[in-house]
A and B are shown apart, each in its own frame.
Chain A
Amino acid sequence: MVSQTFIITNQNGLHARPAGELAKIASTCSSDIMLRVGEKRVNPKSILNIMAAAIRCGTEIEIECTGASEEEDLKKLCEAIEQGLGE
């Protein structure tokens, strides 16, 4: 299992568009992915789950990948989040 923490810097948090972008990328990953925000555990392959977690700007999240391609998948997600998820 590999993991990394991020601070969300999207101005309006992970609302529809960035959440959709994250879900789209997570869905292309073959490893099991878990997004942790505070006490909540969220499936980042589901845009609805991400949106329902109401992750705002400045919130710390942790992404965990488990599986054969975990390193590669985490890197992919990492880059996408750092580049602002299309915003």
Chain B
Amino acid sequence: MKVLKVNQPASAGIAMGRAALYKPKIRKIAENTVDTNEIPHEIERFKEAVLKAEAQLKELSEANPIFAAHLEMVKDSTLHEAVILKIAEEGQNTEKAVFGACEELITIFGALEDAYMKERAADIKDIRERLLNNLTGVSAAFLTYGEDAILIAKDLTPSDTASLDLSKIKGLITRDGGITSHVAILAKSLSLPALVGVKEIMEEVREEDYLILDGYNGEILINPDGEILDKYNLLLEKHLEENRLKREEESLAGKTTDGREIHLFANVGNTGDVKKAVNFQIDGIGLYRSEFLYLNSSYFPTEEEQFLAYKESALLCGKEITIRTLDIGGDKTLPYFPMEKEDNPFLGWRAIRISLNEKEMFKNQLRAILRASAFGKIKILFPMIISLHELLKAKEILKECMAELSEQGISYDGSIETGVMIETPASVLCAEELAAEADFFSIGTNDLTQYLLAVDRGNAKIAELYNSFHPAVLRSIRLVTQAAHRYGKKAGMCGEFAGNEKATKLLIGLGLDELSMTPAKVADIKYTLRRISYEEAKSLAEEACKQTSAEAVIRVLEEN
């Protein structure tokens, strides 16, 4: 048995079946010189091929939006001009002109630095194939497969994947492409196990080889023996059972086996996200990032505009919703609000620091939130707090806004809760006095980890130092939950760590009351949560906090 490995699986899951190798025929591009009098005919052939492609893509785009983009590409004037120039000026036949014009574009895209954009060269290859198919009437793609097939290809274009028979195909493996390629995105959306970028795949696998594709560990097992097959059959059954239970338990309460209830919330950026989030079984919105209202506008959104957005979100959600006040600065700036260039923007003028300086802007937002609070259970979260003084000042401004609204006879929730986002080391160490004044805490692990460990996670050289399992992060979380609980307040978490199943038991043990995450993760976390004993989690958290490195913490978690 041979095993191939990749670092990062494109789509999780386990597939078992026979290898089906996708063998495109080699396309031979006819090359002949076109006489001047034939030029109009060649251009006409190109236009016909384009029209045909447009009709095909219109139909395909109903099922997959990527083809709507392809439709724009075949209609694109840049492409048309390049092809027609090659025919008219250089006397190339249409096939050669289409091939060449697309090749130039593929080179341009292939040279882009952005990995995501680079992958788009595949889109151009795809429309080139489509145009050439239409021109020659011959398709270069060739593929047959039986039941339970694992499809193996150098690369798959969206057009290839659109024509796959998914009742037979159990998994996909490609030699090229990264985890942002079409194949990866499509496989994920279909929950089809897939690995991409498996360099040796075309040499190592033959047609009809029996394969196990392990999309959890990123492994391909070629012709495994009976013992391994049995192991994977069991594993596959276990996963199917797990997925069935996840769906079944989705609507049940998020409780540990010994009855500790944990609220599971969604993180959102706008009203559209709220609409999507309520399709999942969430207990509310734990983090509404209000900065997107500002980023999506070409001027400071007015009180009225903000009010309408918050109100609609509150009504759509129907449960509690925590709105974080404007968090710009750092890596986010507004085009209509000039900020001086800073040497250390993440340690600079950002979030609550801006709000407290720009009082009128802040009051606009607070008034909008207050007015919306008459339509649902809204809470306010202040970002980047480093001292009690800032919290008191923010609350004082909030009181001012309340007084103004009362005077104008506008209704709002007079007992609206205000919380502190714990994301600076200072707020951790001042948690005690903050807990006395705030109604709740929400720990933002992304920034907290970055600030505590002094690691810029965008810096590839030190990226591996960025790790939320670091004992300093865990001990900080414990300090914060303990302080909150001493004052009878709740402590939640809204960073990426909250949606990591590997951390759930630890986080529950550290005393968190709420976890807020991307809505698609809620079912997974609930499933994990419902199998955790709070008592056991507490001892595990104690043990983890005693460790001296992130690696040691992870080892402790794996042993439990």
Residues in chain A within 8 A of chain B (CB atoms): 4-7, 9, 12-13, 15-17, 19-21, 23-24, 27, 43, 45-49, 51-52, 54, 56, 58, 60, 78, 82, 84, 86
Contact = CB atoms under 8 A, between A and B. Distances in A.
Contacts of A60: 335
Interface in B294-334: 295-298, 331-334
Nearest to A16: B69
B298 A4 contact: yes
Nearest to B108: A52
Nearest to A8: B295
Given A23-B76, A58-B332, A51 B68 contact: no
Contact of B69 (A17, A43, A46, A52): A17
Given A13-B117, A47-B76, A84-B272, A20 B112 contact: no
B120 A16 contact: yes
A7 B73 contact: no
B79 interface: yes
Given A13-B117, A20-B69, A54-B113, A49 B78 contact: yes
Contact of A7 (B105, B123, B334): B334
Contacts of B117: 13, 15, 51, 54
Contacts, number: 83
A60 B336 CA distance: 11
B298 A15 contact: no
The 9 nearest A-B residue pairs measured at CB: A20-B69, A16-B69, A20-B72, A47-B72, A54-B117, A46-B78, A5-B335, A54-B114, A48-B78
A6 B66 contact: no
B69 A47 contact: yes
Contact of A56 (B78, B114, B296): B114
A17 B68 CA distance: 7
Interface of B: 65-66, 68-73, 75-79, 105, 108-109, 112-114, 116-117, 120, 123-124, 180, 272, 292, 295-298, 331-336
A16 B66 contact: yes
A12 B295 contact: no
Contacts of A13: 114, 116-117
Contacts of B71: 20
B77 A46 contact: yes
A15 to B, nearest CB: 6
29 contacts: A4-B298, A5-B298, A12-B180, A13-B114, A15-B120, A17-B66, A17-B69, A20-B68, A20-B69, A20-B71, A27-B75, A45-B77, A46-B76, A47-B69, A47-B72, A47-B73, A47-B76, A48-B105, A48-B124, A49-B78, A51-B117, A52-B105, A52-B109, A54-B112, A54-B113, A54-B114, A54-B117, A58-B331, A58-B332
Contact of A20 (B73, B79, B295, B298): B73
Contacts of A43: 77-78
Given A16-B120, A48-B105, A60-B335, A7 B295 contact: yes
Contacts of B73: 16, 20, 47-48
A86 to B, nearest CB: 8
Given A27-B75, A47-B69, A86-B65, 16 more contacts: A4-B298, A7-B295, A9-B295, A13-B116, A15-B116, A16-B66, A16-B120, A47-B72, A48-B124, A52-B108, A52-B109, A54-B112, A54-B114, A58-B332, A82-B296, A82-B297
B188 to A, nearest CB: 14
Given A23-B76, A51-B109, A52-B108, A9 B296 contact: yes
Contact of A9 (B76, B292, B331, B333): B292
B116 A12 contact: yes
B123 A16 contact: yes
Nearest to B113: A54
A2 B120 CA distance: 32
Contacts of B66: 16-17
Contacts of A4: 298
A25 to B, nearest CB: 10
A15 B112 CA distance: 12
A84 to B, nearest CB: 7
A20 B65 CA distance: 10
Nearest to B117: A54
A36 to B, nearest CB: 12
